[in-house]
Amino acid sequence: MIVPLDGSARSARALGPAVKAATALDSPLKVISFATELSRAVVESELEEQLEAARRESPGVECTLRVETSESVGQGLLAYLDSTPGALVVMATHGRGHSSALFGSTAAEVVRHRSSPLLLVGPDCETDRFEVGGLMLVPLDASDHSEQIIPVAEAWAIVFGNPIEVVQVVSPEDSQLAAAASVREPIIETDYVHRKAREMGRALDQELEYEVLHGEHAGPTIVARARDYGAALVAMTTHGASGLSRLLHGSVTADVVRHAPCPVLTVRPASLHEE
C-alpha cells in the first residue's frame, strides 16, 4: 500500500484511511515523497514526524518512508507507481507543501495514468468515519465504463465484508424521456439497478440494497446519499461514456471526490487507457 505525501497537513489526511486499510490487510505501508537535493533532509524530517504519529496510533502497521529526488512531483510519482502496478494507492486530492505541488492536479495525473484502483481522500472527507468494512455506495449509470467498478467493489467487499448499496441517478430529463416513450417510470428506473444488485449479490453471496436517486445533478445527489446514509466508501469509475443520466463522466467523479464525506475508491476503465 502506497501513500504519496507532500508535507502538508491536507495530504497527510490520507494516512488515517491508509492505516486502517493496512491494518485490516496486515499490509506494510509505504509513504513516498519527492524533494530537491537541497530540501531533502528537511522533507524527510517533516514527513517522519507525520509518520511517527501514524505509528503511535497503529503500532502493528509497518510504516516506511521513501523520499526521492525529483524536480517534478507528478513525473516522479508516476514513474514510481509504474514500478508498483499492483499496489493500492491512497492519496489526498489536495495539498500544498514543500514540493509546491497542488495535489489536486497530481492526483488527476495519477488517475489518468494508473489502471489499478485508487483510494482518494477529498477535502471534505471526514476521515474518522472511514471503516474498511463499512457501507459501500456503488453508483452505476448503465454504461460499460461505469460497470467496470463492479469487480473492484466486489473484490473489496469479499476481503472486508462490506454491505453494499447500488445506486443510479435519474434526472428529471431522464424521467421525461421515459414518459415520452410510454414506459412506466418506476419500471424503467428500477429495472437496471435492481438487476445489477442481484448480479453482484450472487457473486458475493449476500443480498444487496439498491436505490434509484432523483436529482438534477449526479455528483451532489451521490454525495448527499453517502452523507445521509452513513456510507464509509463510494466506489465508482472515473469516466462514463453513455447511460441514462450520463452519471460517471470525469467531472461527476471529480465532484464526488471533492465533496464526499468519505473516501472514494476509483478505477479508470482499461478501455480509456487505450484511447
Read off the pLDDT of each residue in 24-53 and give the average, rounded to a whole number. 89
Find, among 275, 193, 267, 270, the residue nearest to 237 by Cα: 267
Q: Are residues 99 and 149 in the same domain?
A: no
Reported pTM: 0.86
CATH number for the domain harbouring residue 213? 3.40.50.620
3-state secondary structure at position 29: strand
180 shares a domain with 143? yes
Give me the pLDDT at residue 14, please.
Answer: 94
Domain hosting residue 181, numbered range:
129-273
Residues 165 and 260 in one domain: yes
Do both 155 and 98 map to the same domain? no
What pLDDT, on a 0 to 100 scale, did the predictor assign at position 106?
Answer: 74
Band of residue 96 on the pLDDT scale cut at 50, 70, 90: very low
Whether residues 6 and 91 fall in one domain: yes
Strands 233-237 and 136-139: parallel
CA distance readout (Å), 188 to 118, 130, 147, 192, 252:
32, 33, 18, 7, 23
Query: Last residue of some domain: 123, 144, 165?
Result: 123
Residues 98 and 230 in one domain: no
The total of structural domains in the chain comes to 2
CA-to-CA separations, 50 to 3, 35, 61, 236, 260, in angstroms, rounded: 12, 16, 14, 30, 24
Task: Show which of 101, 123, 145 is a domain's final residue.
Answer: 123
| pLDDT tens-digit readout, 202-251 | 999 999 999 999 998 999 999 999 999 999 999 999 864 443 334 334 57
**Rounded mean pLDDT of 87-91?**
93
Q: Let me know whether 70 and 139 are in one domain.
A: no
Determine whether 49 is exposed, middle or buried from the number of CB atoms within 10 Å of its CB (0-12, 13-18, 19+). Answer: exposed
Among 54, 88, 123, identify where a domain stops: 123
Instruction: Please indicate, yes or no, whether residues 82 and 138 belong to a single structural domain of this protein.
Output: no
Cα–Cα separations (whole angstroms), residue 115 to 29, 112, 142, 188, 238: 20, 8, 21, 32, 11
pLDDT at 33: 92
* pLDDT category of residue 150 using cuts at 50, 70 and 90: very high
Q: What is the pLDDT of residue 182?
A: 45
- What integer is the mean pLDDT of 56-78? 86
Confidence of residue 105 (pLDDT cuts 50, 70, 90): low
Q: Model confidence over 151-170: pLDDT tens digits?
A: 999 999 999 999 999 999 99
Looking at the structure, tell me whether residues 111 and 172 fall in a common domain.
no
Q: Are residues 58 and 169 in the same domain?
A: no
Same domain, 263 and 170: yes
Are 105 and 133 within one domain?
no
